A and B are shown apart, each in its own frame.
Chain A
Amino acid sequence: MKKTLAAGAALCVALSGCGGGGPRGGGDSKLTGDKIVLGVLNDQSATYAQLSGKNSVEAVKMAIEDFKAKYGDKAVTKNITVESADHQNKPDVANTRASEMYDRLGVDAILDVPTSSAALKVADVAKAQKKLYFNISGATTDLTGKSCNKYTFHYAYDTAMLANGTGTAATQAGAKNWYIVYPDYAFGQDMEKSFKAAITKGGGTVVASDPTPFPNDNFSTFLLKAPTLNPKPDVLGTMQAGADLVNVVKQYNEFKLRDKGVGLAVGLMFLTDIHSLTPDALAGTTFTDAWYWNFDAENRAWADKFSARTGGQRPTFAHAANYSAAMQYLEAVQAAGTDDADAVVKQLEGKKVNDFFLRNGEFRAADHRVLHDAYLAKVKPGSEVKEPWDYEQIVKTIPAQDAFRAPSADCKL
């Protein structure tokens, strides 16, 4: 079979006229299969399904529709489709699904991929296959560090950005002494390191820092310990995510730490986390957001369109970033006139852009970190919430150039 194919291909080259109608004018023939396929690979059933999941597939569909509407007949192709798969947050599943997407389903670019370990695996696949990959929900800085590669862009956030925002900003705002608890696995350890560095940089001190089991439903020991530390911490910094974060916050309130003078800062929090905890449980909590739906009219307009298609859910930054990345990719293909990955990367590298997600955005050429404004946010108390999902008060915009770390020496593109 393989032999026959190879022979056929050789014949094709010799006759140089395979595939039906022969050579066509314009740029359309430069697309493989005369179409563009986007692949959304993420968690569609477990912890991260709500914050991204199937609604990110919907966001990418919105981008495709908007792209077609914008360019009409001038679009590089009208045949743009989406494939999606559930990687169950498992690196090996992510590996298989990503290969399948690029190889068998003809996917030109993979989007999303939460869970750092899975995110890194897909970066390896993208590198090997020389196909594009926009990581959105993964947090690890290794994507633009030792695992960086020509075909991978890290789009929405990373642990350094979170630490920079929450750690530095909160320390400068007066929270000098920190007690950090972090889940004892790659993400948590990475967060703890980044936060420690950022807090020290901001002039603060980390009084103590404790690893916790993962997953864990009982944080009471650490919460009892917090106010007894010497010096007493001004703030408890939790690096937990998902259900573990819910446990920490519920129990933080039970032990009345705020009344005992220990504030709360959360390393990574999504809009959906606030929704499930209720704003009252988190009122006053500081965190860094990559984008907020109710920040201004432009964000809100997109959020309205998104909510109309998702049964009223307001978008998290991951949903917005999936739309934005899909759109930026399609625009780059349009500009390059081809879906050839090297040509698209050339279009993107160093490009400065502004869309509703990428404010003052730049595709940094040195390490493929996508820079954009970030936001220091505070959770509103329930009494100030004016409509469903109206949970955040943006305290400060962190300019794109300050929000992310400098390119790492570990990254060699």
Chain B
Amino acid sequence: MGFLTQTFNGLVGGSFYALLALGLAVIFGMLRVVNFAHGAFYMLGAFGAYVLLAEAGISFWWALLAVPVVLGLLGILLERTLIRRLSALDPLYNFLLTFGLTLMLQDVVKSRYGSQSNPYGAPAGLRGTVDLGLFDFPAYRVFVFGVAVLLCVGVWWLLTRTRVGTVVRAATERPELTRALGIDVGRWIAPVFGFGVALAALAGVLAAPMRAVNPLMGADLIIGVFAVVVIGGLGSVFGSVAAGFGIGLLQAWSEAYGPGLLAQTLIFLVMALVLLFRPAGLFGREELPT
């Protein structure tokens, strides 16, 4: 029973890795940009929820809807004004740009709200625990898991079953050829970036009731998420999601049953092993020649 509880707990923990890795993977696939600012958008998502509640009394549920939309639009604006300008250059430039953005966003939030964590509670309906048959679990965490699974399945459906998804996948794999077929690939770049940002923002709103809301919350998490993306395979949507949940599981198991040192280094240990034996990631493919 303890084992089952810990297993489910690992999947819940993996939900955040999966959601963030999913956004990173979608962005990398389409733009070839390693978005270092992803953690900052996650942080902004959590702060968005906090600010809406503290300053306008807007509930968690509305925040869950509004914050990702607003930040997604901000992402589109960012792509149009900054990221696009560097897209012709070495990808390193966009990496540096998003890293710089991260520092700026963190400092802006810090100067306005301080470095201390801000209070934010779970929505009234989800404060208790639910009986999952074999064990009890905090209702809010079950909700988070449900949302994460739903979103991952939803994105998979979008990419494989809709026309937009087909275009995005085609543009990801063969941008030149897709263009030659008369499809305006450029049109889709900004919305895809905005969508990835919105996913990070949503993860941030989901994190607000259960984690410390402070300017550095994203910076601490993003390093682990990058490791997850590398494990899953850069740009592989399925790989990122699978690796996200998988790492969550391994972390919970190793914390519960393994020595302390293993749990702390696990994620990077797995990453090192994957890089050694499958450099393209568990589900990644070697880049196609263009």
Contact = CB atoms under 8 A, between A and B. Distances in A.
A29 interface: no
A217 B221 contact: yes
B162 interface: no
Interface in A192-232: 210-213, 215, 217-218, 220-222, 224-225, 228
Interface in B196-226: 207, 209-212, 214, 216-217, 220-221
Contacts of B260: 184, 210-212
B20 interface: no
A312 to B, nearest CB: 14
A172 interface: no
B39 to A, nearest CB: 12
B129 A220 contact: no
Contact of B5 (A224, A250, A251): A224
A281 B118 CA distance: 12
Nearest to B215: A46
Contacts of A47: 115, 216
Nearest to A249: B212
B263 interface: yes
B9 interface: yes
A251 B209 CA distance: 9
B5 A247 contact: no
Interface stretch (A271-279, A283-291, A298-306, A366-374): A271-279
Interface in B1-54: 2, 5-6, 9-10, 12-13
Interface size class of B (residues with CB under 8 A): 35 or more
Interface string A237-274: 00000111011001100111000000000000000100
A46 B115 CA distance: 5
A289 B221 CA distance: 31
Interface string A169-188: 00000000000000010000
A44 B121 CA distance: 28
B211 A250 contact: yes
Given A49-B114, A243-B117, A217 B6 contact: no
Contacts of B122: 254
Given A46-B216, A49-B115, A228 B2 contact: yes
A281 to B, nearest CB: 7
A277 B119 contact: yes
A221 B255 contact: yes
Nearest to A211: B260
Contacts of A32: none
Nearest to A250: B210
B129 to A, nearest CB: 6
A358 to B, nearest CB: 27
Q: What is the predominant secondary structure among interface residues of chain A facing chain B? A: helix
Interface in B168-209: 207, 209
A250 B118 CA distance: 11
Contacts of B221: 217
A221 B252 contact: yes
A50 interface: yes
A281 B13 contact: no
A272 B116 contact: yes
A404 B18 CA distance: 48
Contacts of B117: 242-243, 246, 276-277
Q: Which of B10, B13, B117, B263 has the most CB of A within 10 A?
A: B117
B91 interface: no
A99 to B, nearest CB: 26
Given A217-B217, A247-B211, A250-B211, A256 B115 contact: no
Contacts of B114: 49-50
B166 interface: no
A218 B129 CA distance: 18
A50 B216 CA distance: 15
Given A217-B221, A220-B13, A250-B211, A256 B138 contact: yes
8 contacts: A213-B263, A217-B211, A220-B9, A220-B12, A220-B252, A224-B256, A243-B117, A256-B129
Given A247-B212, A276-B116, 16 more contacts: A46-B115, A49-B116, A184-B261, A210-B255, A210-B260, A211-B260, A215-B220, A218-B13, A218-B211, A221-B9, A221-B251, A243-B217, A246-B214, A250-B210, A250-B211, A276-B118
